[in-house]
Amino acid sequence: MPQRLYSCTPSRLNGWLECRRRYRFTYLDRPAPSKGPPWAHNSVGLSVHNALAAWWREPYERRTPETAGALLTNAWIDEGFRDREQSLSWRERAREMVTGYTRTLDPAADPVGVERTVATRTSVIAVSGRVDRLDRRGDELVVVDYKTGRRPLTADDARSSLALAVYAVAASRMLRLPCRRVELHHLPTASVAAWEHTEESLARHLRRAEEVALEASRADDRYREWAASRRDVSAGRRTGGRSDGVRTPPAVPPEIDAEFPPNPGPLCPWCDYRRHCPEGQAAAPARQPWDGLADG
């Protein structure tokens, strides 16, 4: 029988690499366990991404820094902040980010794609993902990814990113143009971290994606076989539902749990599923939803 392709995104592959228990909670348990509260730094990032995407969709004559600022203000996501004062302060900082960044852009240089989905297949995976921006510079494509985190980025971040490499391969195959350059645009520092891949380095990333997919696919199959054997169990017992409405993970047997071990470490305080993971809770103290902001 032909091998079924593993359908995935770069986020799913990275999820497997970072923590297999969180991967199970995210992609396999249904209904998915309840998440914790929203994070303020995610609200900032999504607000900025949405404003920049909307800016490129404006008519050419309206692509001004002032428009970018207005788009950010009007679509601000007010979730996860300590209080309204902190939210308003960060809305202003985010507005300055997008107005300053759009001053560096040529409004007439229409991208090939904004928030564009790209996809490709190999003999192992069917992978797809959404690129923040896809530029055409000369006869080549460039993958652009916006970043709003507190940590400045380096060329090594761009070089080692599995997601950016996969996007480059997929974009090149879809649009039949070379795509080797990937860029991380860090708005808080107004800096660009870039890497020029070779065909060999892109192929290495794609092979790595296939290796991860094979590992995850085998574990997925074992989980689904177990889940299928439990279909005669009532939904409430299977999902471990509680009277307070919190959805908890199903009580999987040890042999299945062993396929998805936790990876306790510095990312645990930021995990959406920390409440369901004793090892994660023991790894580090809990974080407040606004602790990911640069000013804490």
Specify the pLDDT at position 39: 98
Beta bridge partners of 8: 127
Helices (H), the chain: 10-18, 20-27, 40-57, 65-74, 84-102, 155-160, 162-175, 199-229, 235-239, 254-257, 278-283
As a residue count, the chain comes to 296
Cβ–Cβ under 8 Å, residues 158 and 202: no
First to last CA, the chain: 54
pTM of the entire predicted model: 0.92
Asked if residues 46 and 261 have their Cβ atoms less than 8 Å apart, the reply is no
CB-CB contact of 125 with 6 (8 Å): yes
pLDDT at 208 over 80: yes
Over the stretch 174-189, which tens digit does the pLDDT of each residue have?
999 999 999 999 999 9
CB 49 within 8 A of CB 132: yes
61-93: b (≥16 Cβ within 10 Å) or e: eebebebbbbbbeeebbeebbeeeeebeebbee
**In whole angstroms, what is the distance from residue 291 CA to residue 284 CA?**
14
pLDDT tens-digit map of 78-109: 999 999 999 999 999 999 999 999 999 999 99
Q: Check whether 232 has a pLDDT greater than 80.
A: no
